[in-house]
Structure 1
Amino acid sequence: MKRYNMPVHEALRPFLRYCVVKTISGQGPEPLTNTTHADLWPSLVVLKGPAIEMKDASGRFAPVPRVTFMGAATIPGEFSVPDGSQVIGFNFRPGKAHPFFGSGLDEFTDRVVTLGEAWGAEGRELEERVAEAKTPLAVKKVVEAAFIRRLERFEGYPTALPEPLETALEAQGTASVADLARKAGCSARHLKRLFDEWVGLSPKVFSRIVRFQALCGRLTDPAQADWVGLAADHGYFDQSHLIRDFSDFAGLTPMGFLKTAASWTAMQPQGFVPTPEA
């Protein structure tokens, strides 16, 4: 797989983590099976080339639409990716997709929807323009222009949201919901409503995934994985508690996860090698 980042438009940097291009090449006739894990970050994804398929609830693979919005995920997913497929992904920071997709972000959690479903006529028009774009850079320009138009309508975040969101991330998921509510200056119930609408996840589930991803960031060498130490460092009561999160969020045991993703860090944005837009 070849992958590189494209610079995000300056106006969108507070909202987007990155824009990445991934191209499957040299895979041969058999499609690549790609497993995804619980994810805090919604994404708008544009697909080019041969169709990518996603396993549905019945266990069958079905084609993924060419332009989709993927909400935050609390469960693992599985994709079949043929040789020649290309993915252009716009990945949002936690809590930062709402200005572009409105309503409650929890409506999109664990879902893959077409842009037409998410945006109506505006989304269907954008799907057509994206289909006409011949290069990743051309796709990026079309999508970013649409994001910037939507951003002009944004009226700002609820004052109670930024601090608990930042605290949960800085604490790597170990802050309690009560602590987050105190940071927000509101009740735990009101904080849950804010997170549901603006993040797509409850504070508790959000923190669990933050903690899970923080732990995964330290898994680089299967032979040296200190599960007891990792569990303690990340606020797990015991190894069974840790195993449950791996089962819920990755669909695997900890060792099974390591076998399928030898380095979680390599899958993160800082692991990508930037390539000039030209």
Structure 2
Amino acid sequence: MSADPGKPRGVLHQRLEHGEFQHARRMPSPALACLIEHYWFVSWDLRGLPAQQQETLPHPNVHLVVEPGLTAIYGVHTGRFVRLLEGQGRVFGIKFKAAGFFPFYGAPVSELMDRSLDPGHLFGNDAARFEAEVFASEDVDAMSAAAERLLLAHWPPPDPNVARVSMIVADIAKDRSLTSVEALAQQTGLGKRALQRLFNQYVGVSPKWVINRYRLHEAIAQLQAGAPVAWAELAQQLGYFDQAHFIRDFRKLVGCSPAAYARTEAERGRPD
């Protein structure tokens, strides 16, 4: 397994105000890379310090998360994820590729939207053993190795649609010109209804949702970069009809206006 696959996208606050915070990721082995995006690990130490709130934007991915009292398989979360960090803790997760969870689940992934599932329903007694291994492990590499053993023991039969849908989602993420389902249909050669059916079955959310979220991820990345922003121009680049529509979507997902978010991130980045 290779080391950290790069900077995460969608984390709203790149720096905590105080305390120790670690976020590491590991790539899966080549044998598992067709269905697994990466493994991730988060730890924090705020003992004796005030609690801090961390927020992330949703991705079109299912996660298997291991944490004391909260271990579960989580479907696509449609709103921003808010977590209050306090004391000392750590969390390990398996991030399935978009469409990569369907072969394990065998049912429309949309059934899990904003819901969770006991890992034992899919992995039987191996789920509890995996959880115990993660709790006993001292580092992310050992946790990732335990995840590999679990997944290989329950590896599903191949499904040709998985690679196809995963590639479509990857294209949405990297191609900023894909700002509508119509454009996606033209690029893929699939009708809008066919795209809708595939995304409902394999991804768990609609193609429109995926396009909108990745364009907002792009907006967050630009604001975090700290460069001056022409709001009307940015809204147009992201496929919005007008600046007001962009601001409404941004505020609904992030909880504040783009300008307010940019100011907050700038203040966090200033030295004390």
Q: Normalised by the shorter chain, which TM-score bucket?
A: 0.7 to 0.9
Query: Which residue of structure 1 lines up, in the alignment, with residue 235 of structure 2?
Result: 231
CA RMSD of aligned residues (A): 3.1
How many Å separate the matches in 2 of 1:171 and 1:97?
24
How many Å separate the matches in 1 of 2:65 and 2:124?
17
What secondary structure sits across from 1:157 in the alignment? helix
How many Å separate the matches in 1 of 2:216 and 2:135?
36
AA partner of residue 212 (structure 1): L
What secondary structure sits across from 2:224 in the alignment? coil
Q: Matches of residues 7-18 of structure 1 in structure 2 within 5 Å?
A: 7-18=27-38
Question: Does 2:227 align with 1:207?
Answer: no
Query: Which residue of structure 1 lines up, in the alignment, with residue 257 of structure 2?
Result: 253
Query: Which residue of structure 2 lines up, in the alignment, with residue 155 of structure 1?
Result: 159
Report deviation, 1:134: 4.8
**Contact 1:43–1:69, Cα closer than 8 Å, also in 2:** yes
Report deviation, 1:31: 2.4
CA deviation map 1:103-162 (0-9, x unaligned): 222122223443235545553453344444454333222211112233343333268635
Question: Does 2:191 align with 1:171?
Answer: no
Report deviation, 1:205: 0.8
How many Å separate the matches in 2 of 1:262 and 1:198?
38
Q: Which moved more, 1:220-229 or 1:140-149?
A: 220-229
CA separation of 1:184/1:243 partners in 2, compared to 1, >3 Å: closer, same or farther?
same
CA deviation map 1:218-272 (0-9, x unaligned): 1125572322221122222111111122123223221333355559xx9xxxxxx
How many Å separate the matches in 2 of 1:2 and 1:159?
32
How many Å separate the matches in 2 of 1:180 and 1:259?
34
1:104 pairs with one of 108, 112, 120: 108
| Greater RCO (Cα-Cα under 8 Å, separation 6 or more) | 1
Please, which runs of 5 or more residues in structure 1 have no aligned partner? Answer: 49-63, 267-278
Question: Does 2:73 align with 1:69?
Answer: yes
Please, which runs of 5 or more residues in structure 2 have no aligned partner? Answer: 1-20
**Contact 1:34–1:81, Cα closer than 8 Å, also in 2:** yes
AA partner of residue 43 (structure 2): T
Q: How many residues align?
A: 248
How many Å separate the matches in 2 of 1:262 and 1:68?
35
What secondary structure sits across from 1:73 in the alignment? coil
Query: Which residue of structure 2 lines up, in the alignment, with residue 242 of structure 1?
Result: 246
AA partner of residue 89 (structure 2): S
AA partner of residue 202 (structure 2): W
Percent sequence identity over aligned pairs: 24
How many Å separate the matches in 1 of 2:105 and 2:265?
31
How many Å separate the matches in 1 of 2:34 and 2:215?
23
What secondary structure sits across from 1:3 in the alignment? strand
